[in-house]
Structure 1
Amino acid sequence: MSDLGWLIVAISAFVAGHELLSHPLRAPLVARLGERGFLIVYTLVAFATLGIAGQLWKAIPPDRLWQAPTWVHGIAVVAMAFAAILFVGSVTAPNPALMGMPAGGRPRGVQRITRHPMMWSFAIWGVVHIILSADSRTIVLASGIVTLALFGAAMQDGKKKAQNPAYGEHMAATGFIPFGAQFRGRAKWADGVPGLVATLGGLALWGVMIWAHPLVVGVPALPVLG
Protein backbone atom coordinates (compact mmCIF):
# COMPACT_ATOMS: atom_id res chain seq x y z
CA MET A 1 0.00 0.00 0.00
CA SER A 2 1.24 3.51 -0.77
CA ASP A 3 2.00 6.06 1.94
CA LEU A 4 -1.12 7.96 0.87
CA GLY A 5 -3.15 4.78 1.34
CA TRP A 6 -1.73 4.34 4.84
CA LEU A 7 -2.57 7.97 5.56
CA ILE A 8 -6.17 7.27 4.60
CA VAL A 9 -6.16 4.28 6.96
CA ALA A 10 -4.64 6.32 9.79
CA ILE A 11 -7.01 9.27 9.51
CA SER A 12 -9.97 6.88 9.16
CA ALA A 13 -8.84 5.17 12.37
CA PHE A 14 -8.62 8.58 14.07
CA VAL A 15 -12.18 9.48 13.05
CA ALA A 16 -13.63 6.03 13.79
CA GLY A 17 -11.85 5.78 17.12
CA HIS A 18 -13.17 9.16 18.22
CA GLU A 19 -16.76 8.35 17.25
CA LEU A 20 -16.73 4.85 18.77
CA LEU A 21 -15.20 6.00 22.03
CA SER A 22 -17.43 9.07 22.22
CA HIS A 23 -20.67 7.17 21.68
CA PRO A 24 -21.25 3.36 21.70
CA LEU A 25 -18.11 2.41 23.65
CA ARG A 26 -18.10 5.26 26.17
CA ALA A 27 -20.62 3.88 28.67
CA PRO A 28 -19.22 0.31 28.88
CA LEU A 29 -15.64 1.57 29.11
CA VAL A 30 -16.50 4.11 31.82
CA ALA A 31 -18.29 1.36 33.75
CA ARG A 32 -15.22 -0.87 33.51
CA LEU A 33 -12.37 1.64 33.75
CA GLY A 34 -13.94 4.63 35.45
CA GLU A 35 -14.09 8.14 34.03
CA ARG A 36 -10.37 8.72 34.54
CA GLY A 37 -9.39 5.41 32.95
CA PHE A 38 -11.67 6.08 30.00
CA LEU A 39 -10.11 9.50 29.44
CA ILE A 40 -6.65 7.92 29.43
CA VAL A 41 -7.71 5.36 26.80
CA TYR A 42 -9.48 8.04 24.75
CA THR A 43 -6.44 10.33 24.83
CA LEU A 44 -4.00 7.56 23.93
CA VAL A 45 -6.09 6.42 20.96
CA ALA A 46 -6.59 9.98 19.70
CA PHE A 47 -2.93 10.97 20.02
CA ALA A 48 -1.66 7.69 18.59
CA THR A 49 -3.85 7.72 15.48
CA LEU A 50 -3.45 11.44 14.82
CA GLY A 51 0.28 11.25 15.51
CA ILE A 52 0.72 8.42 13.01
CA ALA A 53 -1.34 10.37 10.47
CA GLY A 54 0.86 13.43 11.03
CA GLN A 55 4.06 11.43 10.51
CA LEU A 56 2.69 9.89 7.34
CA TRP A 57 1.65 13.34 6.11
CA LYS A 58 5.21 14.60 6.58
CA ALA A 59 6.65 11.59 4.72
CA ILE A 60 4.50 12.07 1.61
CA PRO A 61 5.94 14.48 -1.00
CA PRO A 62 3.57 17.41 -1.60
CA ASP A 63 1.79 17.74 -4.91
CA ARG A 64 -0.72 20.19 -6.36
CA LEU A 65 -3.91 19.12 -8.10
CA TRP A 66 -5.13 22.65 -8.91
CA GLN A 67 -4.18 26.29 -8.40
CA ALA A 68 -6.56 28.47 -6.41
CA PRO A 69 -6.85 32.04 -7.75
CA THR A 70 -5.68 34.94 -5.59
CA TRP A 71 -9.21 36.10 -4.79
CA VAL A 72 -9.94 32.72 -3.21
CA HIS A 73 -6.96 33.25 -0.90
CA GLY A 74 -8.54 36.52 0.22
CA ILE A 75 -11.84 34.81 1.08
CA ALA A 76 -9.94 32.04 2.85
CA VAL A 77 -8.11 34.54 5.06
CA VAL A 78 -11.43 36.06 6.13
CA ALA A 79 -12.90 32.58 6.68
CA MET A 80 -9.99 31.70 8.97
CA ALA A 81 -10.57 34.87 10.97
CA PHE A 82 -14.20 33.80 11.39
CA ALA A 83 -13.05 30.31 12.42
CA ALA A 84 -10.70 31.80 15.01
CA ILE A 85 -13.53 33.89 16.47
CA LEU A 86 -15.75 30.80 16.69
CA PHE A 87 -12.99 28.83 18.39
CA VAL A 88 -12.22 31.49 21.01
CA GLY A 89 -15.93 31.97 21.63
CA SER A 90 -16.34 28.24 22.15
CA VAL A 91 -13.75 28.12 24.94
CA THR A 92 -14.62 31.36 26.71
CA ALA A 93 -18.28 30.63 27.48
CA PRO A 94 -20.14 27.48 28.63
CA ASN A 95 -21.62 25.60 25.68
CA PRO A 96 -24.65 23.33 26.23
CA ALA A 97 -23.67 21.29 23.14
CA LEU A 98 -20.59 19.91 24.93
CA MET A 99 -20.86 16.73 27.00
CA GLY A 100 -21.30 17.38 30.70
CA MET A 101 -22.70 20.87 30.18
CA PRO A 102 -26.32 21.50 31.22
CA ALA A 103 -28.86 22.78 28.72
CA GLY A 104 -30.84 25.82 29.64
CA GLY A 105 -30.93 29.57 29.30
CA ARG A 106 -30.70 31.64 26.18
CA PRO A 107 -27.89 31.03 23.69
CA ARG A 108 -25.14 33.60 24.03
CA GLY A 109 -22.07 34.72 22.16
CA VAL A 110 -21.04 32.50 19.28
CA GLN A 111 -23.80 30.01 20.19
CA ARG A 112 -26.16 32.45 18.51
CA ILE A 113 -24.17 31.89 15.31
CA THR A 114 -23.96 28.09 15.63
CA ARG A 115 -24.46 25.73 18.55
CA HIS A 116 -21.24 23.95 17.57
CA PRO A 117 -18.72 26.81 17.27
CA MET A 118 -15.64 24.71 18.02
CA MET A 119 -16.56 22.00 15.54
CA TRP A 120 -17.26 24.55 12.82
CA SER A 121 -13.93 26.26 13.48
CA PHE A 122 -12.21 22.93 12.76
CA ALA A 123 -14.42 22.30 9.71
CA ILE A 124 -13.69 25.74 8.24
CA TRP A 125 -9.97 25.17 8.83
CA GLY A 126 -10.20 21.88 6.96
CA VAL A 127 -12.12 23.25 3.98
CA VAL A 128 -9.79 26.24 3.65
CA HIS A 129 -6.71 24.00 3.62
CA ILE A 130 -8.26 21.60 1.12
CA ILE A 131 -9.03 24.42 -1.31
CA LEU A 132 -5.76 26.29 -0.95
CA SER A 133 -3.31 23.42 -0.71
CA ALA A 134 -4.73 21.26 -3.51
CA ASP A 135 -2.34 18.70 -2.03
CA SER A 136 -3.37 15.03 -1.95
CA ARG A 137 -1.95 14.38 1.52
CA THR A 138 -3.55 17.54 2.96
CA ILE A 139 -6.88 16.76 1.32
CA VAL A 140 -6.93 13.37 3.09
CA LEU A 141 -5.89 14.79 6.46
CA ALA A 142 -8.18 17.81 6.35
CA SER A 143 -11.13 15.75 5.06
CA GLY A 144 -10.82 13.56 8.14
CA ILE A 145 -10.91 16.63 10.38
CA VAL A 146 -13.96 18.04 8.57
CA THR A 147 -15.78 14.69 8.76
CA LEU A 148 -15.01 14.27 12.44
CA ALA A 149 -16.09 17.82 13.27
CA LEU A 150 -19.44 17.85 11.47
CA PHE A 151 -20.44 14.20 11.89
CA GLY A 152 -19.36 14.33 15.52
CA ALA A 153 -21.41 17.48 16.10
CA ALA A 154 -24.52 15.84 14.62
CA MET A 155 -23.98 12.74 16.77
CA GLN A 156 -23.54 14.94 19.82
CA ASP A 157 -26.88 16.63 19.18
CA GLY A 158 -28.67 13.29 19.10
CA LYS A 159 -26.96 12.02 22.23
CA LYS A 160 -27.55 15.20 24.22
CA LYS A 161 -31.21 15.35 23.22
CA ALA A 162 -31.74 11.73 24.22
CA GLN A 163 -30.11 12.32 27.60
CA ASN A 164 -31.77 15.66 28.29
CA PRO A 165 -35.04 16.62 26.56
CA ALA A 166 -34.37 20.27 27.52
CA TYR A 167 -31.54 20.22 24.99
CA GLY A 168 -34.21 20.12 22.29
CA GLU A 169 -35.12 23.67 23.25
CA HIS A 170 -31.50 24.70 22.76
CA MET A 171 -31.50 23.04 19.33
CA ALA A 172 -34.71 24.86 18.39
CA ALA A 173 -33.22 28.22 19.36
CA THR A 174 -29.91 27.71 17.56
CA GLY A 175 -28.64 26.60 14.18
CA PHE A 176 -26.38 23.71 13.26
CA ILE A 177 -24.74 25.53 10.35
CA PRO A 178 -23.48 29.07 11.00
CA PHE A 179 -26.36 31.56 10.93
CA GLY A 180 -28.80 28.71 10.29
CA ALA A 181 -31.18 30.01 12.97
CA GLN A 182 -31.18 33.45 11.32
CA PHE A 183 -31.87 32.03 7.87
CA ARG A 184 -34.79 30.01 9.26
CA GLY A 185 -36.23 32.95 11.16
CA ARG A 186 -35.59 31.39 14.59
CA ALA A 187 -33.27 34.22 15.62
CA LYS A 188 -32.75 37.85 14.72
CA TRP A 189 -29.81 38.78 12.54
CA ALA A 190 -28.92 41.47 15.08
CA ASP A 191 -28.34 38.70 17.63
CA GLY A 192 -25.85 36.88 15.41
CA VAL A 193 -22.82 38.65 16.81
CA PRO A 194 -20.00 36.80 18.58
CA GLY A 195 -19.42 39.26 21.42
CA LEU A 196 -16.41 41.36 22.36
CA VAL A 197 -14.28 38.66 24.01
CA ALA A 198 -14.72 36.19 21.15
CA THR A 199 -14.11 38.87 18.52
CA LEU A 200 -10.98 40.41 20.04
CA GLY A 201 -9.60 37.06 21.18
CA GLY A 202 -10.35 35.49 17.81
CA LEU A 203 -8.69 38.28 15.87
CA ALA A 204 -5.66 38.03 18.13
CA LEU A 205 -5.47 34.27 17.54
CA TRP A 206 -5.93 34.85 13.80
CA GLY A 207 -3.05 37.33 13.81
CA VAL A 208 -0.81 34.81 15.57
CA MET A 209 -1.74 32.13 13.04
CA ILE A 210 -0.94 34.47 10.14
CA TRP A 211 2.44 35.28 11.70
CA ALA A 212 3.33 31.70 12.66
CA HIS A 213 2.11 29.98 9.49
CA PRO A 214 5.30 30.43 7.43
CA LEU A 215 7.42 29.46 10.45
CA VAL A 216 5.50 26.25 11.16
CA VAL A 217 4.25 25.18 7.72
CA GLY A 218 6.81 26.86 5.49
CA VAL A 219 4.39 28.87 3.33
CA PRO A 220 2.73 32.25 4.00
CA ALA A 221 -0.92 32.30 5.02
CA LEU A 222 -1.58 35.52 3.13
CA PRO A 223 -1.52 35.53 -0.68
CA VAL A 224 1.65 36.84 -2.27
CA LEU A 225 0.70 39.60 -4.67
CA GLY A 226 2.67 40.76 -7.62
Structure 2
Amino acid sequence: MSWGAFAAVFVAFFLTHSIPVRPAVKARLTDRVGPRGFGWGYSALSLAMLTLLIWSAGQAPHLLLWPQAPWQRHVVQAGMLVVCLILAFTIARPNPFSFGGARNEQFDPAQPGIIRWTRHPVLLALALWAGLHLLPNGDLAHLLLFGVLGGFAVVGRALIDRRKRRALGVTRWQALFAAKQRAPLLQPPGSWGMSLARLLLGLASYLVLLWAHPVIIGVPAL
Protein backbone atom coordinates (compact mmCIF):
# COMPACT_ATOMS: atom_id res chain seq x y z
CA MET A 1 0.00 0.00 0.00
CA SER A 2 1.34 3.43 -0.93
CA TRP A 3 1.46 6.44 1.39
CA GLY A 4 -1.29 8.03 -0.69
CA ALA A 5 -3.61 5.05 -0.14
CA PHE A 6 -2.83 5.08 3.59
CA ALA A 7 -3.66 8.80 3.71
CA ALA A 8 -6.94 8.12 1.86
CA VAL A 9 -7.96 5.53 4.48
CA PHE A 10 -7.11 8.06 7.19
CA VAL A 11 -9.36 10.66 5.55
CA ALA A 12 -12.18 8.12 5.18
CA PHE A 13 -11.80 7.18 8.86
CA PHE A 14 -12.27 10.75 10.06
CA LEU A 15 -15.11 11.46 7.62
CA THR A 16 -17.08 8.42 8.77
CA HIS A 17 -16.54 9.46 12.38
CA SER A 18 -17.39 13.14 12.00
CA ILE A 19 -20.18 13.37 9.43
CA PRO A 20 -22.74 11.00 11.06
CA VAL A 21 -22.58 12.85 14.40
CA ARG A 22 -23.14 16.31 12.96
CA PRO A 23 -26.43 17.49 14.49
CA ALA A 24 -28.39 17.74 11.23
CA VAL A 25 -27.12 14.41 9.86
CA LYS A 26 -27.56 12.60 13.17
CA ALA A 27 -31.11 13.90 13.52
CA ARG A 28 -32.07 12.58 10.07
CA LEU A 29 -30.46 9.20 10.67
CA THR A 30 -32.03 8.90 14.13
CA ASP A 31 -35.47 9.64 12.67
CA ARG A 32 -35.02 6.75 10.23
CA VAL A 33 -33.47 4.05 12.42
CA GLY A 34 -34.13 5.30 15.96
CA PRO A 35 -31.58 6.21 18.67
CA ARG A 36 -30.65 2.59 19.37
CA GLY A 37 -30.24 1.80 15.68
CA PHE A 38 -28.06 4.86 15.20
CA GLY A 39 -25.91 3.91 18.19
CA TRP A 40 -25.36 0.34 17.01
CA GLY A 41 -24.82 1.40 13.40
CA TYR A 42 -22.34 4.14 14.28
CA SER A 43 -20.46 1.79 16.62
CA ALA A 44 -20.23 -0.91 13.94
CA LEU A 45 -19.04 1.60 11.33
CA SER A 46 -16.46 3.05 13.73
CA LEU A 47 -15.10 -0.40 14.60
CA ALA A 48 -14.93 -1.43 10.94
CA MET A 49 -13.10 1.75 9.93
CA LEU A 50 -10.69 1.47 12.86
CA THR A 51 -9.89 -2.12 11.86
CA LEU A 52 -9.30 -1.00 8.26
CA LEU A 53 -7.06 1.85 9.41
CA ILE A 54 -4.95 -0.44 11.62
CA TRP A 55 -4.63 -2.95 8.78
CA SER A 56 -3.63 -0.17 6.41
CA ALA A 57 -0.84 0.96 8.74
CA GLY A 58 0.57 -2.55 8.58
CA GLN A 59 0.49 -2.46 4.77
CA ALA A 60 2.08 0.99 4.41
CA PRO A 61 5.82 1.34 3.54
CA HIS A 62 7.92 0.29 6.53
CA LEU A 63 10.27 2.98 7.86
CA LEU A 64 11.69 1.95 11.24
CA LEU A 65 12.26 4.74 13.78
CA TRP A 66 13.05 2.65 16.90
CA PRO A 67 13.37 -1.10 17.56
CA GLN A 68 10.95 -3.18 19.57
CA ALA A 69 11.98 -4.46 23.03
CA PRO A 70 10.32 -7.27 25.06
CA TRP A 71 9.40 -4.92 27.94
CA GLN A 72 7.30 -2.84 25.58
CA ARG A 73 4.98 -5.77 24.89
CA HIS A 74 4.59 -6.43 28.63
CA VAL A 75 3.59 -2.82 29.23
CA VAL A 76 1.00 -3.03 26.45
CA GLN A 77 -0.42 -6.29 27.80
CA ALA A 78 -0.88 -4.83 31.29
CA GLY A 79 -2.16 -1.49 30.05
CA MET A 80 -4.75 -3.03 27.73
CA LEU A 81 -6.33 -4.79 30.68
CA VAL A 82 -6.89 -1.33 32.19
CA VAL A 83 -8.34 -0.11 28.89
CA CYS A 84 -10.79 -3.03 28.76
CA LEU A 85 -11.91 -2.41 32.33
CA ILE A 86 -12.42 1.32 31.69
CA LEU A 87 -14.64 0.52 28.71
CA ALA A 88 -16.53 -2.20 30.57
CA PHE A 89 -17.42 0.24 33.37
CA THR A 90 -18.32 2.97 30.86
CA ILE A 91 -20.29 1.62 27.91
CA ALA A 92 -24.10 1.77 28.11
CA ARG A 93 -24.25 3.65 31.40
CA PRO A 94 -25.49 7.23 31.88
CA ASN A 95 -22.95 9.93 31.07
CA PRO A 96 -24.33 13.34 30.06
CA PHE A 97 -20.81 14.75 29.69
CA SER A 98 -19.58 12.63 26.79
CA PHE A 99 -20.53 10.08 24.15
CA GLY A 100 -20.91 6.36 24.71
CA GLY A 101 -23.52 6.84 27.41
CA ALA A 102 -27.09 5.58 27.60
CA ARG A 103 -30.18 6.78 29.47
CA ASN A 104 -28.38 10.04 30.29
CA GLU A 105 -31.51 11.43 31.92
CA GLN A 106 -30.99 8.82 34.67
CA PHE A 107 -27.50 10.05 35.55
CA ASP A 108 -27.10 10.39 39.32
CA PRO A 109 -24.26 12.83 40.17
CA ALA A 110 -24.18 11.42 43.72
CA GLN A 111 -23.29 7.99 42.23
CA PRO A 112 -21.21 8.93 39.17
CA GLY A 113 -18.99 5.84 39.17
CA ILE A 114 -16.05 6.19 36.81
CA ILE A 115 -17.43 9.56 35.65
CA ARG A 116 -16.21 10.96 39.00
CA TRP A 117 -12.66 10.41 37.78
CA THR A 118 -13.04 11.46 34.16
CA ARG A 119 -15.86 12.99 32.12
CA HIS A 120 -14.66 11.21 28.99
CA PRO A 121 -13.72 7.62 29.87
CA VAL A 122 -14.06 6.37 26.27
CA LEU A 123 -11.61 9.02 25.08
CA LEU A 124 -9.31 8.15 27.99
CA ALA A 125 -9.39 4.51 26.91
CA LEU A 126 -8.63 5.54 23.31
CA ALA A 127 -5.71 7.73 24.41
CA LEU A 128 -4.28 4.92 26.56
CA TRP A 129 -4.72 2.40 23.74
CA ALA A 130 -2.91 4.66 21.30
CA GLY A 131 -0.12 5.62 23.69
CA LEU A 132 0.50 2.02 24.72
CA HIS A 133 0.68 0.79 21.13
CA LEU A 134 3.20 3.47 20.20
CA LEU A 135 5.81 1.70 22.34
CA PRO A 136 6.30 -1.54 20.37
CA ASN A 137 5.38 -0.08 16.97
CA GLY A 138 8.32 2.11 16.12
CA ASP A 139 7.75 2.59 12.40
CA LEU A 140 6.52 5.78 10.74
CA ALA A 141 3.09 4.47 9.66
CA HIS A 142 2.19 3.31 13.17
CA LEU A 143 3.61 6.49 14.69
CA LEU A 144 1.19 8.44 12.48
CA LEU A 145 -1.66 6.04 13.28
CA PHE A 146 -1.38 5.98 17.05
CA GLY A 147 -0.06 9.52 17.38
CA VAL A 148 -2.97 11.03 15.47
CA LEU A 149 -5.61 8.88 17.20
CA GLY A 150 -4.12 9.61 20.62
CA GLY A 151 -4.04 13.33 19.83
CA PHE A 152 -7.62 13.14 18.58
CA ALA A 153 -8.67 11.58 21.90
CA VAL A 154 -6.98 14.37 23.88
CA VAL A 155 -8.26 17.25 21.74
CA GLY A 156 -11.70 15.67 21.44
CA ARG A 157 -12.45 16.25 25.11
CA ALA A 158 -12.68 20.02 24.65
CA LEU A 159 -14.78 19.63 21.49
CA ILE A 160 -17.27 17.34 23.21
CA ASP A 161 -17.38 19.62 26.27
CA ARG A 162 -18.45 22.50 24.06
CA ARG A 163 -21.06 20.37 22.28
CA LYS A 164 -22.50 19.03 25.54
CA ARG A 165 -22.61 22.48 27.16
CA ARG A 166 -24.54 23.71 24.16
CA ALA A 167 -26.93 20.74 24.20
CA LEU A 168 -27.57 20.73 27.96
CA GLY A 169 -27.28 24.46 28.52
CA VAL A 170 -24.38 26.00 30.41
CA THR A 171 -26.29 26.25 33.71
CA ARG A 172 -27.39 22.59 33.64
CA TRP A 173 -23.94 21.37 32.58
CA GLN A 174 -22.20 23.30 35.36
CA ALA A 175 -24.72 22.12 37.96
CA LEU A 176 -24.21 18.46 36.99
CA PHE A 177 -20.43 18.90 36.96
CA ALA A 178 -20.38 20.56 40.39
CA ALA A 179 -22.67 17.87 41.84
CA LYS A 180 -20.60 14.95 40.56
CA GLN A 181 -17.41 16.62 41.82
CA ARG A 182 -18.87 16.58 45.32
CA ALA A 183 -19.21 12.80 45.22
CA PRO A 184 -16.41 10.80 46.94
CA LEU A 185 -13.61 9.58 44.71
CA LEU A 186 -14.10 6.10 46.12
CA GLN A 187 -17.56 4.86 47.05
CA PRO A 188 -19.42 1.54 47.03
CA PRO A 189 -21.21 0.81 43.75
CA GLY A 190 -24.93 1.29 43.45
CA SER A 191 -25.25 -2.38 42.43
CA TRP A 192 -22.65 -4.97 43.36
CA GLY A 193 -24.18 -7.43 40.90
CA MET A 194 -23.91 -5.04 37.97
CA SER A 195 -20.37 -4.07 38.96
CA LEU A 196 -19.34 -7.73 39.06
CA ALA A 197 -20.94 -8.28 35.65
CA ARG A 198 -19.03 -5.34 34.20
CA LEU A 199 -15.79 -6.58 35.76
CA LEU A 200 -16.28 -10.01 34.20
CA LEU A 201 -17.16 -8.36 30.88
CA GLY A 202 -13.92 -6.37 30.97
CA LEU A 203 -11.86 -9.49 31.72
CA ALA A 204 -13.65 -11.46 29.00
CA SER A 205 -13.08 -8.65 26.50
CA TYR A 206 -9.39 -8.67 27.35
CA LEU A 207 -9.12 -12.41 26.75
CA VAL A 208 -11.00 -12.07 23.45
CA LEU A 209 -8.59 -9.33 22.36
CA LEU A 210 -5.61 -11.55 23.16
CA TRP A 211 -7.14 -14.34 21.08
CA ALA A 212 -8.31 -12.14 18.20
CA HIS A 213 -5.18 -9.99 17.88
CA PRO A 214 -3.23 -12.41 15.65
CA VAL A 215 -6.40 -13.21 13.68
CA ILE A 216 -7.43 -9.61 12.95
CA ILE A 217 -4.16 -7.68 13.19
CA GLY A 218 -1.81 -10.46 12.11
CA VAL A 219 0.53 -10.06 15.08
CA PRO A 220 0.31 -12.12 18.32
CA ALA A 221 -0.33 -10.06 21.45
CA LEU A 222 1.58 -12.51 23.68
Amino acid at match of 1:209: L
Q: Residues 145 and 35 of structure 1: is their aligned pair in 2 closer, same or farther, counting only changes over 3 Å?
A: farther
Q: Quick check: 1:110–1:198 contact (8 Å CA) kept in 2?
A: no
Q: Quick check: 1:89–1:197 contact (8 Å CA) kept in 2?
A: no
| Aligned-residue identity in percent | 26
Instruction: Count matched residues.
Output: 207
Q: Residues 173 and 86 of structure 1: is their aligned pair in 2 closer, same or farther, counting only changes over 3 Å?
A: farther
For structure 1, which runs of at least 5 residues remain unmatched after alignment?
175-180
Number of the residue aligned with 1:64: 64
Number of the residue aligned with 1:190: 186
Instruction: Determine whether 1:105 maps to 2:108.
Output: yes
- Aligned to 1:218, the other structure's residue is in SS state coil
Aligned ranges for residues 125-144 of structure 1 at < 5 Å?
125-144=129-148
In 1: Cα distance, 2:30 partner to 2:207 partner: 41
In 1: Cα distance, 2:3 partner to 2:203 partner: 35
Aligned ranges for residues 1-226 of structure 1 at < 5 Å?
3-15=2-14, 18-19=17-18, 21-23=20-22, 26-27=23-24, 29=25, 35-36=31-32, 53=53, 56-96=56-96, 97-98=98-99, 101-102=104-105, 104-106=107-109, 107-165=111-169, 166-172=172-178, 188-191=184-187, 195-222=195-222
90-99 or 125-134, larger mean C-alpha shift: 90-99
Q: Quick check: 2:20–2:26 contact (8 Å CA) kept in 1?
A: no
Does 1 or 2 have the higher relative contact order (CA < 8 Å, sep 6+)?
1
Q: Quick check: 1:7–1:140 contact (8 Å CA) kept in 2?
A: no
TM-score by length of 2: 0.70
1:83 CA displacement: 0.5
Amino acid at match of 1:35: D
155-164 or 2-11, larger mean C-alpha shift: 2-11
For structure 2, which runs of at least 5 residues remain unmatched after alignment?
none
In 2: Cα distance, 1:11 partner to 1:192 partner: 42
Instruction: Provide the aligned C-alpha RMSD in A.
Output: 3.8
In 1: Cα distance, 2:56 partner to 2:106 partner: 40
